[in-house]
Structure 1
Amino acid sequence: MIGNFISEFEKVTDYWSPRVVAQVNDQYVKVAKVKGDLAWHKHDEEDELFYVVKGSVTIEYEGDAVTLNEGDFHVVPKGKMHNPVAEEECWIVLMEPVATKHTGDITTEKTKSLAEQLAGASY
């Protein structure tokens, strides 16, 4: 399989709407455009990797925060409450187990189902 992240980002039209672009063993690779904040949540059993392609995003933690710029990546540990926030549009690649729910332990109006994230997958 050959893919192109830039062309995959061009297919993303809504913020906070991850799109699955590949599967590596039991991990999905997703692209998303983000702006504003998502929601405070956690993933009880799964770590997730954020990689910034364009812009910057801050991962807020209770009492702490990590800011990621273009080229940076960060792993959010399982069970850790967090809230991604981007002041301006930011393009991120996510890597997470296939069982990972978009907003973890909560559901909001921004939550996307796995079916929505897989829509149009071409891998």
Structure 2
Amino acid sequence: MSQGATIDLAGKFAAFSDHWRPRVAARLNGQDVRLVKVQGVFPWHSHADAEEMFLVWKGAFRVEFRDRIETLGAGQFIVVPRGVEHRTAADEEAEVLIFEPSEVVNTGDAPASEFTAPQGQTV
């Protein structure tokens, strides 16, 4: 991860293969730009103190709320408001950029599990 350098998203995504393990591609203003490959269904959770933005780079991705489901394709994004319970899902592998404060744990208020990613992994 190099500040002030061009980032090749295709190359960065090609550098890892595991699912639900966000990698930090850049940091700015206390925020991380995280890259993640997703497939399957992530646990329900919320983040009391932070919004999350999900931008789909490749594939199809769902953000499920208790009252609706938003389905996104490549080039689309959604902002999940702070404190709103949600889960994410993809039937086939998708590649997603996440924009959120650096201290945010990916599983939010859900109990630690195999979905809880190590903090600060870079790509």
Fold shared, TM-score > 0.5 on shorter chain: yes
Runs of 4+ with >3 A deviation? none
Asked whether 1:112 is paired with 2:113, we answer no
Identity of aligned residues (%): 35
Q: Secondary structure at the match of 2:117?
A: coil
Q: Among residues 24, 27, 49, which one is paired with 1:23 in the alignment? A: 27
Instruction: Output the CA distance in 2 between the equivalents of 1:16 and 1:99.
Output: 17
Instruction: Please state how far the C-alpha of 1:2 moved relative to its aligned partner.
Output: 1.3
Q: Among residues 14, 19, 27, which one is paired with 2:18 in the alignment? A: 14
Instruction: Output the CA distance in 2 between the equivalents of 1:109 and 1:4.
Output: 29
Instruction: Output the CA distance in 1 between the equivalents of 2:41 and 2:89.
Output: 4
Residue identity in the other structure for 1:111: T
- Is residue 55–residue 91 contact of structure 1 (8 Å, CA) maintained in 2? yes
Alignment of 1:1-123 (within 5 A): 1-106=5-110, 107-114=112-119, 118-119=120-121, 121=122
Which is worse superposed, 104-113 or 44-53? 104-113
Give per-residue Cα distances to partners, 1:4-55, cap 9 Å, x unaligned: 1111101121010100010011100010100001110000000010000110
Higher-helix-fraction structure? 1
Listed as ranges, the gaps of 5+ residues in structure 2 are none
Residue identity in the other structure for 2:17: T
Listed as ranges, the gaps of 5+ residues in structure 1 are none
- Is residue 51–residue 92 contact of structure 1 (8 Å, CA) maintained in 2? yes
Q: Say how many residue pairs are matched.
A: 118
Give the TM-score taking structure 2 as reference length.
0.92
Give the TM-score taking structure 1 as reference length.
0.92
Instruction: Output the CA distance in 2 between the equivalents of 1:20 and 1:13.
Output: 15
Give per-residue Cα distances to partners, 1:68-112, cap 9 Å, x unaligned: 111000001110000101000000000000111110001221111
